[in-house]
Chains A and B, each alone.
Chain A
Amino acid sequence: MSAVATPARQASGGVNVKLVNRIVIYGLLALFALFYLMPLFVMLVTSFKTMDEIQNGNMLALPKAPTFDPWLKAWGETCVGLTCAGIKGYFWNSIKMVVPAVLISTMLGALNGYVLTKWRFRGATLVFGLMLFACFIPFQSVLLPMATILGSVGRFGVTLQNSIGTSFGLGNSTVNLVFVHVVYGIGFTTLFFRNYYEAFPTELVKAAQVDGASFFQIFRRIMLPNSMPIFVVTVIYQFTNIWNDFLFASAYAGTGDSMPMTVALNNVVNTSTGVVEYNVNMAAAMIAALPTLLVYVLAGRYFVRGLMAGAVKG
């Protein structure tokens, strides 16, 4: 800008710079939105295409003649390993595993958080610290002992089955996975509830105690009615984590009819026999992703809060 520039020109230059800035910012934001949406978009359009169109067409093109067949095939017919009955059974396996695991771990977390904040005792911080650290261990460091224990419990279950006719669920893969997810989930659920209850007025608890309310009465009548937000956060967090788990699922239910959705999906996609049906694979992946995506769409705010709570131990 030379010395002869008039104030008017300077001002108009300022407006232009501002406009260019805005365009650049919006352009960049849109570009990144494309980057994040692209894989989902490709997955979605591919799942509605015929194999013919996939081989001859463009990955990004919309399906010319949208067909729902790949979804039906993925759900009811595609082969997982040697069984060709679709992924529907594995979808239900996941549901049967997720629901009890989420409920039990959340309930235990609520009780633990309540004790750790409102019934403090000597060493409470240490207890919490030990449980908190458990959230961060690489699960590889417990994978093998747990496999050994589950193996012997399973053998015991078989013995029971043979002698008294019922195994009480011992050795059942779904039961095993529920147990594993509860064990390695309570650290996080305790953390969530502890941080939430920390901010909850202790005077109310004290007052109720003076009035003679018992431990569980206070929990039921005072804490629980005020815990809705943290329950939503915890349930969503646990649901997403357990539904998406692959390591435990493949280690403890990696074969047979009891595997959860993630393992089944991986098997579908990596089956090398016959023609690879990409549209069916993509439909299967979409089906596996739908429950967590749905939760995210319906309750995204709580999902983010859960992630943050897991990240920032404030």
Chain B
Amino acid sequence: MSTVATTQIKLTPEQARPRASVRSRLQDALPKIVLAPSFAITIVFVYGFILWTIYLSFTNSKTFPSYVITGSRAYQRLWGWTFDTDPPSSWYTSITNMGIFGFLYILICLALGLFLAILLDQKIRGEGMLRPIYLYPMALSFIVTGVAWKWFLDPGLGLEQTLHQWGWTSFHFDWIKNKDFVIYTVVIAGVWQASGFIMAMFLAGLRGIDGEIMKAAQIDGATTFQLYRRIVIPLLRPIFLSAFIVLAHLAIKSYDLVVALTSGGPGGSAWLPSNFMYEYTFKRNEMAVGSASAVIMLMTIVAIIVPYLYSELREKSR
């Protein structure tokens, strides 16, 4: 802050004189002029494009966009596929996987993140060394994470092979090649990548808790377990909410990890809706269906994010 105090604004005499009205009006409008390009870009390339995608989802676009509205056929097909379980349709697989992946990914990241944060908060020697170790995967791209775990989970090269060499020959772990279990390997890699970050969020929250409250509870004879269950965890509620929002949003956007880790899995069995969208739009020439699936993804995010942002912004402007 010291720099602020010492910063001097040097004014030329010319600037100190009152300006002509055109110039001063320009000065008044300048902030808005500066902000305008960014805002315009957002309106056109975010909201305009979203409307465009919604529009396309009501056409019968195949390989190329068509602009004749033909009704909600794309949605009807998706709706029909939602229950197509025998054999499962790609859409059914994608949304089921989304459910499994989203639920486990969020739950395990929250649980593991909180657990690690509580452990690290016990006045640990070497905390400064451990924290970066838990957190570094967040700096890697999903592609690198996928490549690393693909190798690690490969039955012929990775964990299974290693344990066989160590003498545990009955050990069997081929989830990555198994169409019923491949989505769980995506959960493992996803948790590996994000849980350290969630830990950091919880740790920051724990450090923000007033020490007096903890002391008072301890004097009252609360056990460590009671202390955390009754006092600390309820106090961390805002962090739970933020972490949930971050994870839900990461989960719905997950695309790269599935591609790099499983290449879609045997017969597309590891697809998430994002993969479905990409494949249908760019590879299977079903642009309308791809757009409809993108709209459904967007709506899911809107349902989660908008109430959150609204309350955050309203709170601040109060």
- Distance of B299 from chain A, by nearest CB (Å): 9
Q: Is B309 in contact with A244, judged by CB distance below 8 angstroms?
A: no
Q: How many residues of chain B get a CB closer than 8 Å to chain A's CBs? A: 102
Contact of A32 among B1, B134, B249 (CB under 8 A): B134
Q: Give the dominant DSSP class at B's interface.
A: helix
CA distance A282 to B151 in the complex (A): 9
Interface membership of A307, Cβ < 8 A = yes
| C-alpha spacing A141/B297, complex, angstroms | 8
A129 to B311, CA, bound (A): 11
Q: How far is the CB of B121 from chain A (nearest CB, A)?
A: 10
Residue A15 interfacial (CB < 8 Å): no
Within 8 A of A (CB), among B139-182: 139-145, 147-152, 157-159, 161-162, 165
From 226 to 248 in chain A, residues with beta carbon under 8 angstroms from any chain B beta carbon are 226, 240, 243-247
Q: Which residues of A contact B83 (CB under 8 A)?
A: none
Chain A contact residue count (CB 8 A cutoff):
99
Q: How far is the CA of A26 from the CA of B130 in the complex (A)?
A: 11
Q: Say yes or no: is B22 at the interface (Cβ < 8 Å to chain A).
A: no
Chain A residues, Cβ within 8 Å of B305? 133, 136
Task: Assess the A112–B35 pair: CB atoms within 8 A.
Answer: yes
B143 near A29 with CB under 8 A, answer no
Stretch of A4-12, A162-170, A217-225 contacting B (4+ beta carbons < 8 Å): A217-225
Q: Contact between A215 and B147 (Cβ–Cβ < 8 Å)?
A: no
* A119 CB contact (under 8 Å) in B31, B253, B295: B31
Residues of chain B in range 239-262 having any CB-CB distance to chain A below 8 Å: 239, 242-243, 245-246, 249, 252-253, 255-256, 259-260
Which one of A62-70, A78-86, A153-161, A292-300 contacts B? A292-300
Roughly how many angstroms separate A201 CA and B5 CA in the complex, as a whole number? 11
Q: Are B143's CB and A311's CB within 8 A?
A: no
Instruction: List the A side residues contacting B1 at CB < 8 Å.
Output: 226
Please tell me if A37 contacts chain B, counting CB pairs below 8 Å: yes
> Measured between C-beta atoms, what is the minimum distance from A264 to chain B in Å?
10
Docked CA distance A187–B38 (Å): 9
Whether B256 pairs with A246 at a CB distance below 8 angstroms is: yes
Q: Given the complex of chains A and B, what is the CA–CA distance between A139 and B297 in angstroms?
A: 10
Complex contact B317–A25 (CB within 8 A)? no
| Known A204-B4, A288-B141; contact A215-B31, beta-carbon cutoff 8 A | yes
Q: Which of A36-78 contact B (CB under 8 A)?
A: 36-40, 42-43, 46, 54, 58-60
CB distance from B173 to the nearest CB of A (A): 13
- Complex: how many Å from CA A221 to CA B5? 12
B41 at the interface (CB under 8 A from A): yes
Q: Please, how many angstroms separate the alpha-carbon atoms of A135 and B116 in the complex?
A: 29
Q: Which B residues are CB-close (under 8 A) to A213?
A: 9, 11
Among residues 90 to 144 in chain B, which have CB atoms less than 8 Å away from a CB atom of chain A? 116, 119-120, 122, 124, 130, 132-144
List 6 additional A-B contacts (Cβ < 8 Å) besides A186-B41, A190-B38: A58-B162, A136-B249, A144-B290, A146-B49, A186-B38, A186-B42
A interface residues (Cβ-Cβ under 8 A, vs B): 25-26, 28-29, 32-33, 35-40, 42-43, 46, 54, 58-60, 108, 111-112, 115-116, 119, 121, 125, 127-134, 136-148, 183-184, 186-187, 190, 201, 204, 208, 211-218, 221-222, 225-226, 240, 243-247, 251, 262, 265-266, 269-270, 278, 281-282, 285, 288-289, 292-293, 295-296, 300, 303-304, 307-308, 310-313
Instruction: Give B contacts to A, CB under 8 Å.
Output: 1, 3-4, 7, 9, 11, 15-16, 27, 30-32, 34-35, 37-39, 41-43, 45-50, 52-53, 56, 65, 116, 119-120, 122, 124, 130, 132-145, 147-152, 157-159, 161-162, 165, 192, 196-197, 200-201, 204, 239, 242-243, 245-246, 249, 252-253, 255-256, 259-260, 263, 274, 277-278, 281-282, 287, 290-291, 293-295, 297-298, 301, 305-306, 309-310, 312-313, 317
User: When A and B form their complex, which 8 residue pairs have the shortest distance between CB atoms, in order from nearest?
Assistant: A244-B141, A119-B31, A142-B49, A39-B148, A296-B139, A246-B256, A145-B49, A140-B294
